[in-house]
Each structure stands twice: as structure tokens, then as C-alpha cells.
Amino acid sequence: MSSALQVLTAGTVFGSVLQYRQTVAQGKVQQRIAEAEARNRRLEGRVEAVKAKESANEILRRTKRALASNIARGYSSGVIPEVGSSAVFSEQQVLRPAALDVGILEQDAFLAIEQSQRQARNIEYQGQMAARQAKTEALFKLGTDLAQIAMTGVGSGSRSVAPNIAQPGTPGNLSQINVGGGAFPTAGGGMNFRQPQGISFL
């Protein structure tokens, strides 16, 4: 593998790892945002519960004032307010409606907290799933990139080298074998039995 290819591979690996970390960081940011929103929902539920309890307390204060007023009017009229029709009137017109309203407001306070808790848990779960999904996608992308880099490296290193073997009988392939100690090379590995020029046997 050449140095240029090594530098390119290292840069690609660095970029893939950096992208993996960025994707995971984005998932964690989404999870933190969801956690913050969940805390706000819980706080909103507590605020609603406090408002309901304050309304219930206000109803109780008004009830006490109404009962005190009925008792004062009864004594001023010469009637005992704790017995007879005065007591029935106070119970039916003041105490019973006040008790119903206070019970409803207490139930509203409980439901406000429960609803905010449920919504907060759902939001936290969505944030956790967003972080997990981001990490899963980042791991898959990183594995794919590394596999492609590995395949590129193997492909570049598996070059086949064909042997340069000269075939007999091809032009330019002169045999260096001399026959009978002569000084004339033969072509194509054959033998040359021609007589040297200028020599006569007659």
C-alpha cells in the first residue's frame, strides 16, 4: 500500500470516527432536552396541584365565614343555630357544598401530579430512545465505512504480477548455445549446420 493511500485511509477512518462521535453527541443532546422538558412537566403538575389546594383552602375559609355569619344571625334572632332548622340549613347550604368542592379540588391536585409524572416519564423514554437510535445508527455507519476501507485496502494490495518468460521461437530470442564449439549463435534454440563462409573442403 502506497503512502498516499495510507494517508487517505487514515483520513477516512478519522472522518468516520468523528462522524460517529457527532451522531452520538446529537442523540445525547436530544436526551438532555427531553429530560429538561420532563422536569418542566413535573413542575407544571406541582404548580397545578398547589393552585388546586389554594382554591380548596379558600373554599374552607369562605365556609368558616358563612358558618360564623349563620351562627351570629341565629343568636341575634334568639334561635340556637346548632340545633333545629338552623343546623340543617347550615349543613345543607354551606357545609355539604363546601365539602364537595374541597374534595374535587383535592382530586384535581392529585390528578395534576399524576398526569405530569406520566407525561414526564413518556418524554424521558422518548429521549432515551432517541439517544439509543442515534448510537445504533452511528455504529452501523462506522462499521459500514470501516468495511469499505478494508475492502479498498485488500483490493489495492492484491495486484497479480505475470512472469515475463520469453517463449522459444520468437523473434529476438537468440540461443546462446554453440554447436561444435563454433562462434555462431543459433536462432530459436535450433542448430545451425551451415559451413562458415569462405572455407572450402575441396
Residue 175 within a domain: no
Residue 145 within a domain: yes
pLDDT on residue 153:
62
- Encode pLDDT of 80-130 as tens digits: 656 556 556 666 677 788 888 899 999 999 999 999 999 999 999 999 999
Residue 106 within a domain: yes
Residue 23 within a domain: yes
pLDDT on residue 150:
79
Please report, for the chain, how many H helices and E strands are present, in that order: 3, 2
pLDDT on residue 142:
85
Q: What gap in Å lies between CA 184 and CA 2, rounded to an integer?
A: 48
Residue 184 within a domain: no
Residue 69 within a domain: yes
Residue 105 within a domain: yes
Domain count within the chain: 1
pLDDT on residue 89:
61
**Model pTM above 0.85:** no
Residue 50's domain comprises 3-157
What are 16-20's contacts with CB under 8 Å, separation 24+? 16/141, 16/142, 16/145, 16/146, 16/149, 17/142, 19/138, 19/141, 19/142, 20/138, 20/139, 20/141, 20/142
pLDDT on residue 202:
43
Residue 119 within a domain: yes
